[in-house]
Amino acid sequence: MSTSPSAVAPATASERAPRPARQPRAGRTRRLVTQLGAVALAFLVWWVASFTLPIGVMPSPVATFVRLGALASVPEFWAAFGTTVATFAAALAFCTVVGIPLGLAIGSSSFATQSTRLVFDFLRTIPPIAILPLVLLTIGANFQMVLTLTILGAIWPILIQSIYAARQGEALLVEMATSYQVPRGWFIRHIFFPGALPFVMTGLRIGTTICLLLTITGELLGGAPGLGFEIADAQAFYDNERMYAYVIVSAALGLLVNAGFYALQRRLLRWHPSVRREDAR
């Protein structure tokens, strides 16, 4: 299990000693100040770069954010934003609803796991972007094309990690359940799911990142409507302020998605040592 792409730190036997539940206030304030300082420093670097680099390469942060504010009052902006969010959400929902149950089912049978291993390993390693030209020609430059591309790229980590998750039941617990002859439903609910969840979450996290990456990529390279298209369009018109503004919006979207995922993970894995340890930190 150590070689798996597991983001959830393996639970070590030696849990950290319990720490004071809350950080001292002074420490938190200091951290906030240093963080604000780092953000300010980043803006300073950007600002300095904007007038030391050749003209037209990098707009100043002020100009970019003014432009961003102007964009926010234009309906086209919200249309692009909405399309990207909708595509991303639909693709992720599909991958989750299909990938996790299918993966857990396959993983519960060693025959199915072994039989499908090569096929899934191969499909996973095809860079999803390779099929972009094909879906672009067959479907066209639209929402459905991006959705297809994203699903075909993002489902593999979720599926494969779920297969893996189903096989990670703690051997001791499984043995104990067998010898105590616990009912099947109880076993699935209290032993199988909690054991699989951390690994499913890892797959979901990788899948989420890939989903957003592919949504933007499909729009940017495929010319389908959305944030990615707006970035490419701004570049085509040498409109750097607009381009940077849209890159910032994509990053903000990524930030939002990461934060949402983090909150979900903390909620679902409250009991898991990796989350408990972070609380103590």
Applying the rule CB under 8 A, the residues between 43 and 62 that interact with another protein are 53, 57-58
Concatenating the DSSP letter of every residue in 88-143 gives: HHHHHHHHHHHHHHHHHHHHT-HHHHHHHHHHHHHHHHS-GGGGHHHHHHHH-SSH
Position 106 contacts another protein (CB under 8 A): no
Structure tokens at 213: 């990456």
Beta carbons within 10 angstroms of residue 170's beta carbon: 12
Length of the chain: 281
Is 234 an interacting residue with respect to another protein (CB under 8 A)? yes
The answer to whether residue 232 forms part of the interface with another protein (CB under 8 A) is yes
Select 90 or 113, whichever has its Cβ closest to another protein: 113
Among residues 162, 205, 187, the alpha carbon closest in space to that of 8 is found at 205
Figure out which of the listed residues 164, 227, 241, 265 binds another protein, where binding follows CB under 8 A.
227
Does residue 101 interact with another protein by CB under 8 A?
no
| Site for another protein contains 2 (CB under 8 A) | yes
Say whether residue 168 binds another protein (CB under 8 A): no
The CA angle 69-73-77, to the nearest 5 degrees, is 90
By CB under 8 A, which span of 67-75, 141-149, 183-191, 219-227 interacts with another protein?
219-227
């994203």: which residue's tokens?
150
Q: Can residue 105 be called a binding residue for another protein (CB under 8 A)?
A: no
- Restricted to residues 176-195, the positions that interact with another protein (CB under 8 A) are none
Binding to another protein, residues 115-154 (CB under 8 A) = 115-119, 121-134, 136-138
- Binders of another protein: how many residues, by CB under 8 A? 71
Of the candidates 96, 112, 213, which has an alpha carbon nearest to the alpha carbon of residue 161? 96
Q: Which of residues 3-42 bind another protein (CB under 8 A)?
A: 3-7, 9, 12, 14, 16, 31, 34-35, 37-39, 42
Rounded Cα distance, 217 and 180, in Å:
52
**Residue 161 contacts another protein per CB under 8 A:** no
Smallest separation (angstroms) from another protein to the CB of 34: 4
What is the C-alpha separation between 155 and 158, in angstroms, rounded?
Answer: 5
Of the two residues 3 and 73, which places its CB atom closer to another protein in the complex?
A: 3
- 114 CA to centre of own chain: 28
